[in-house]
Structure 1
Amino acid sequence: MAMDNRSGSIFGFVNPSYGASDPGMNVPLTSNPGLSQLSPYLNFDPAYLQTAQPEFIALEGASQKRGRFELAFSQIGGSCLVGASLGGAHGIYRGLQDTAAAGHTGKIRRTQLLNYITKRGSASANTLGVIAFMYSGLGCLLYYARGSQEDEINTIGAGTLTGLLYKSTAGLKKCSMGGLAGLALSALYVAFASRDRFKDHYARF
């Protein structure tokens, strides 16, 4: 009975030993000519993979860009985190000054510092969170009111209305100042976010 050429025993069940004469072992260790990125193990050219495509799957016919409602959650959460960070930093600064002026030391000073950080951090987080919530909600309302049309008008309008609404209970003068502040901030954001498109537009003239 003939023995398998890949084995040291009958049928290759015991102590297999592969040699260079085995056709299944002739796997090239270098790329083929003309294919510099060819993988010798996967046998395909990675250059054919399109890495410029989006990294998420969108429904057929749907926009590849996230809408205002989807962005609202990250905007509100990010605003709360930024407000808590800024308020906590300001609380540490004021707490160190006030406790040093009052002569507090040890546990009393640490407790006072924690109170300053918690109080100012929560107040700042609440303020920025409310502003972000108003801005996101008004932006969504403008988006649907204008027939699902998304452009810079929604951003500027939402920013202006947010300033007016946030200062609406402080009198007409402060309400107007809040609206102007919202208009200025939203206009600056639009100018920064769309700077490349504006450059291309003016370059044609």
Structure 2
Amino acid sequence: MNSTGNGEENDTGAPLPDFRTSGIQLHTVAPALGVIGKNTPDYLDYDTKGRGIIVTMFANAGMSYVLGTTFGGVYGVRQGLVATPSNRFRVKLNSVLNHSGRYGSRAGNTLGVFAVLYSLYEGLADHYDLEETLGVRDISPAAASFVSPAFGAVMAGATYYGPSGPRVAALAGALGFGSVAVTYAAYTVLGIPYGSRGYLFL
């Protein structure tokens, strides 16, 4: 704060910033503005449809294995308590561990394989834009999100049970389609965006 000779105070304030842009290289600051140069920073690719097939497959398989192992293990505990040949603690504990391990691993492995197959088939349908090929998007844009999950569920069930014969494979595919249809209908009634949970066809 400076004082003039007539007693008035003169406050110059903070110095103004330097707005000269001679030292700024636009091609390193904002390549999105269309200025391209040799030192353009690298950006990660963005998938507009969400996660890729491999990432989705690992996420679905991991979650399915955990859920299958958990529920199968709980069911195995119940079966172990019912099937125990003796009321002695050691025998009962052994029976519970055997049954929970058997049912838990079986359910976890089965659901994990289903999740891998489903993710691969759904990713394949998304890659080739199956709903556009079938013309579903033109008929009903709201139902377009139903096509890829339905295809994935049908093909996963048919592939998994294919060695058991065509009738069993067709039944498994129909059950997969029914599961997706029921889920889609429930989400539509409740007003929940279909596929918003990020797990399989939920």
Instruction: Please classify the TM superposition score into its range, dividing by the shorter chain length.
Output: 0.5 to 0.7
**Over the residues paired in the alignment, what is the CA RMSD in angstroms?**
2.7
Counting aligned pairs with the same residue, the percent is 24
| Larger Cα-atom Rg | 1
Cross-structure match for 1:105:
88
Distance 1:171 1:63 in 2: 39
Q: Which residue of 1 aligns with 2:98?
A: 115
Please name the residue that 1:129 is paired with: 112
Are 2:78 and 2:96, in contact at CA under 8 Å, matched by a contact in 1? no
1:165 aligns with 2:139: no
Change (3 A) 1:185 1:64: closer
Separation in 2, partners of 1:174, 1:76: 23
8 A contact 2:83–2:95 mirrored in 1: no
Structure 1 residue 76 and structure 2 residue 64: aligned?
no
Shift of 1:73: 2.1
Asked whether the 8 Å contact 1:155–1:190 carries over to 2, the reply is: no
Whether the 8 Å contact between 1:75 and 1:132 is mirrored in structure 2 is yes
Structure 1 residues 62 and 94 mapped into 2: Cα distance closer, same or farther (>3 Å)? closer
Normalised TM-score (structure 2): 0.60
- What residue identity is the alignment partner of 2:86? G
Structure with higher RCO (Cα < 8 A, 6+ apart): 2
Aligned mates of 2:122, 2:149 — CA distance in 1? 7
Distance of 1:160 and 1:189 partners within structure 2: 14
1:176 matched residue in structure 2: 170
Q: Secondary structure of the residue that 2:115 maps to in structure 1?
A: helix
CA distance, structure 1, for counterparts of residue 101 and residue 79 of structure 2: 12
CA contact (8 A) 1:160 1:186 kept: no
Contact in 1 for aligned 2:150/2:181 (Cα 8 Å): yes
| 1:91 paired to 2:85 | no
Give 5+ residue unaligned stretches, structure 2.
1-42, 133-143, 194-202
Residues 91-144 of structure 1: per-residue CA shift (max 9 Å, x gap)? 011100111xx2241222212211111111000100100111110011111122
How many matched pairs?
139
One-letter identity of the residue aligned with 2:72: G
Q: Which amino acid aligns with 2:108?
A: A
Distance 1:162 1:191, change over 3 A: same
Q: Report deviation, 1:64.
A: 7.4
Residue 131 of structure 1 contacts residue 166 of structure 1 at CA under 8 Å; is this kept in 2? yes
The aligned counterpart of 2:20 is none
Deviation at 1:70, TM superposition (A): 3.1
Q: State how 1:52-71 maps to structure 2 within 5 Å.
A: 62-63=47-48, 65-71=50-56
